[in-house]
Amino acid sequence: MNNEKWNELCYILSENLPSNTSEQVFELKVVQAFEKLGWSEYKNEIIVRESVQVGASNRISPDLLLKSKEQGNLFIIEVKKPTVEIDNPTFKGQLSSYMGLMRVELGILIGNKIQLFLDGKFFNKSGIVLIDEIEFKRDSEKGLKFVNLFSKQQYNKENIEIHAQEKIEEFKKIEEFKKLKRLLLSENYKVKMIDALKTDLLKEYGENTIDKVFKVLELNIKDKNKIVPVESYARSRTKSISTRERVIRPNGELAIGKYVRKTFNELVRDNKIDRNEIDRLQRADYSKLTFDIQFPFLAKENSHYYERARYYTTPYEISGEYYFVCSQWYEVPANNDRPYYEEWLKKMKRL
């Protein structure tokens, strides 16, 4: 039943929308969607653009406020035009401000997808924290969870907090993974590892022998994230071009494909890409908008986007999961992906 409700929400909020849907019309669709979940605008459970007094002279008007007679204000919804990418710090900042001023702990951004935010106090952080992101895909497990959490009959604060706690544990595991990885790759740990091996070897070998062997050996723990070897490029039918010429441009720069793999490897190595960005890089719409490429920048092997012909062969391990990088990059006057990628790269390096 709830799965059918989620599929209906996908129809209302995505599949049946004209491409030029305005934010005002989309807001009505969001109201319709929440009424499908049991909330009622007629009963003042959904408040649309209510002007709220803040302080002596200021007023705010959140797009939607959901409330109940028993518990008062429950959560705020900010609606954005569905053709606009909602991964925008301004939108998050606006929602955070409304949540703080109205003293609600939960906020939702709805546009080309749904983002759930919780007061940062649950994470010992300031501001608000993104706890989930749900795309409008039928039969989605996350979509079903959304319906379970936000149907009026099932809604309660405890369920939201349980969901948040699950996310907190998930974030903790990711941070623990990163911390342990940094530790194992550090020079200090290398020394400890060698000392431990020497201590164990002393049970069977003399100290001088062990020292001599270690002088001719190098012991390392290496990151499995490797720069993908350059594939053999097919020769042009009309002109013979060497692999070297295709990899290095006339001005000495790496060709775009090689450049993407080299610099992305460095970002992964330096832990410059967070979990949210990894999720975004697996989306076709975000990749098109950000890089002007036709496929998601990253894909797992079991993703419906993944095709061997469109992704480099060697995967990257990120937070314990394996991802393939899109190989469909172009660098010609009519279709030049390099400026898009370089802009994103600068952004990642600043983080």
Order of strands across the sheet that contains 128-134: 46-48, 64-68, 72-79, 106-110, 114-119, 128-134
Distance CA 259, CA 248 (A): 10
- H or E segment to which residue 304 belongs: none
DSSP 301: T
pTM: 0.55
Q: Dig out the tokens for 256 from the structure.
A: 């775009």
Block mean pLDDT (10 aa), the chain, length 351: 88 89 93 95 92 75 91 93 85 90 91 90 83 87 91 88 81 81 87 92 93 87 53 35 45 84 92 90 90 92 85 88 92 86 90 67
- The closest of 234, 264, 236 to 341, measured between CA atoms, is 264
The pLDDT value recorded for residue 124 is 79
Alpha-carbon distance 80 to 148, whole Å? 23
Retrieve residue 309's tokens.
């012909």
Q: Where are the beta strands (DSSP E) in 257-308?
A: 298-299
Q: Which residues contact 28 (CB under 8 A, 6 or more apart)?
A: none
Using left for φ > 0, alpha for ψ between -120 and 50, and beta otherwise, residue 320 falls in left
Beta bridge partners of 335: 332
The DSSP letter of residue 137 is -
Cα–Cα distance, 125 to 105 (Å, whole number): 13
Strands (E), the chain: 46-48, 52-54, 58-60, 64-68, 72-79, 106-110, 114-119, 128-134, 298-299, 316-318, 321-325, 331-332, 335-336
pLDDT score, position 234: 35
Residue owning tokens 């431990």: 196
Which sign, positive or negative, has the C-alpha torsion 142, 146, 147, 153? positive
Task: Please report which residue ranges of 186-242 form alpha helices under DSSP H.
Answer: 187-201, 207-215
Helix axes 256-269, 338-350, angle to 10 degrees: 10
pLDDT of residue 251: 58
Q: Are strands 58-60 and 52-54 parallel, antiparallel or unpaired?
A: antiparallel
Domains defined for the chain, CATH in brackets: 2-170 (3.90.1570.30), 186-215 (no CATH), 243-350 (no CATH)
Instruction: Tell me if 5 sits within 8 A of 39, measured CB to CB.
Output: no
pLDDT at 157: 82
CA–CA distance, 69 with 54 (Å, rounded to integer) = 21
pLDDT at residue number 223: 66
Q: Under a CB-based contact definition with an 8 Å cutoff, are residues 29 and 23 in contact?
A: no
Q: Which of 308, 320, 283, 313 lies closest to 298, judged by CA?
A: 283
Question: How is the chain split among helix, strand and coil, in percent rounded to 5?
Answer: 45, 15, 40
